Amino acid sequence: MWPFSEMSLSAATFVGSVANWTLLGSLVVGLLSTFVLVKTTDVKEQYWAEDRRQSSEHIATLNNESAKLTADNLALQTALLPRHVGLIGIDEQPKAKTWFAGFERWAGTKILIQVVAGDLEAQNLANEIAIVLSKYGWKPEFIDETRSGYSLNLSEGLSVFSPASYKAWDPKDEAQQRFSVLSAAAVSLALALTNAGLGVGSYPVGGTHGLIMVVDFPPGSDGALSDPFRNFSPKLDGVYLQVGSRPVAATVAWIKAGRPDASGKRADASPANSHK
């Protein structure tokens, strides 16, 4: 036991002072320790918050990459499947009735169909298109390179053409009036085939904005000599449909380009980057 009872006044005063200062120092140290503890906890929380943010971003990136990979695989798998135009409906009416609704307005229109040689899947698709259009009064006729003078070797997808004139529009020209009707029929056919899922990715079937074959270039003119259809004989007098192979290579190229839509906007473009 401490001999406090035997201390002198001066000794007690000194020891008490030391004890007071020690207690005060302990309080100050306690306050400083508490302050440091709080501040260092705040700093650690900032680092933890940054780690959580980066982890969330990493997870979001992985999710986006997973979704992109799934979409890419689905697009490629779709391109590998046999193509159809909704000729047969299972437990529902054939989708062709929706996609080709109103096509009777062009009844009597001749449609020349050329299929890439040796492709049974493309030939089957062309047969289905011919059957559907026949139901609406169109007149399908299959042709080959002998008639068109144009090779479809290595071609993919579908394209629709209509005849046109190199001359300026003349409302009194009966041929040009006929070309205008055929152009409307060709564009509508391209749109129907696009609705049937026969484009490439988000791209529509060729001809939705009008593909033309000029049929009245003067012989020997620059236009006639550079015309890719210069050997089409006799000249096109209806709608011309090219049926190529399944667009596998074109779909792969579309996927590599970022699966852009018809306007060119990439599917993986962020809103911030889409305005740059």
**What's the Cα-to-Cα distance from 15 to each of 2, 25, 28, 29, 232, rounded to whole Å?**
12, 15, 20, 21, 119
pLDDT at 65: 66
How far is it between the farthest Cα atoms of the chain? 136
Backbone torsions φ then ψ of 162, nearest 5 degrees: -135, 155
Structurally, how many domains does the chain consist of? Answer: 2
Clarify whether residues 108 and 195 are in a common domain.
Answer: yes
264 lies in some domain: no
pLDDT at 271: 46
| Cα(138)–Cα(111) distance, integer angstroms | 7
Clarify whether residues 211 and 154 are in a common domain.
Answer: yes
274 lies in some domain: no
269 lies in some domain: no
Give me the helices (H) in the chain, please: 9-80, 96-99, 120-135, 145-148, 174-195, 222-226, 248-256
Q: 33, 63, 79 — which closes off a domain?
A: 79
pLDDT at 2: 60
Q: 56, 79, 102 — which closes off a domain?
A: 79
**Pair 112, 147: CB distance under 8 Å:** yes
Clarify whether residues 185 and 242 are in a common domain.
Answer: yes
pLDDT at 275: 38
98 lies in some domain: yes
pLDDT at 4: 62
Show the domain range for 43: 8-79
Clarify whether residues 37 and 127 are in a common domain.
Answer: no
| Cα(6)–Cα(253) distance, integer angstroms | 101
Over its length of 276 residues, how does the chain's per-residue pLDDT go in tens digits?
566 666 677 777 877 787 788 878 888 888 888 888 888 888 878 887 777 787 777 777 666 666 666 666 666 676 678 999 998 877 788 999 999 999 999 999 999 999 999 999 999 999 999 999 999 999 999 999 999 999 999 899 999 999 999 999 998 999 999 999 999 999 999 999 999 999 988 889 999 999 999 999 999 999 999 999 999 999 999 999 999 999 888 888 888 888 787 777 776 655 444 333
Clarify whether residues 50 and 97 are in a common domain.
Answer: no
pLDDT at 274: 39
Clarify whether residues 98 and 190 are in a common domain.
Answer: yes
103 lies in some domain: yes
pLDDT at 75: 64
202 lies in some domain: yes
| Cα(206)–Cα(182) distance, integer angstroms | 16
Q: 79, 98, 122 — which closes off a domain?
A: 79
pLDDT at 262: 73
Clarify whether residues 224 and 108 are in a common domain.
Answer: yes
Clarify whether residues 37 and 117 are in a common domain.
Answer: no
pLDDT at 46: 82
Clarify whether residues 26 and 129 are in a common domain.
Answer: no
Clarify whether residues 73 and 128 are in a common domain.
Answer: no
Clarify whether residues 157 and 64 are in a common domain.
Answer: no
270 lies in some domain: no
Clarify whether residues 211 and 243 are in a common domain.
Answer: yes
143 lies in some domain: yes
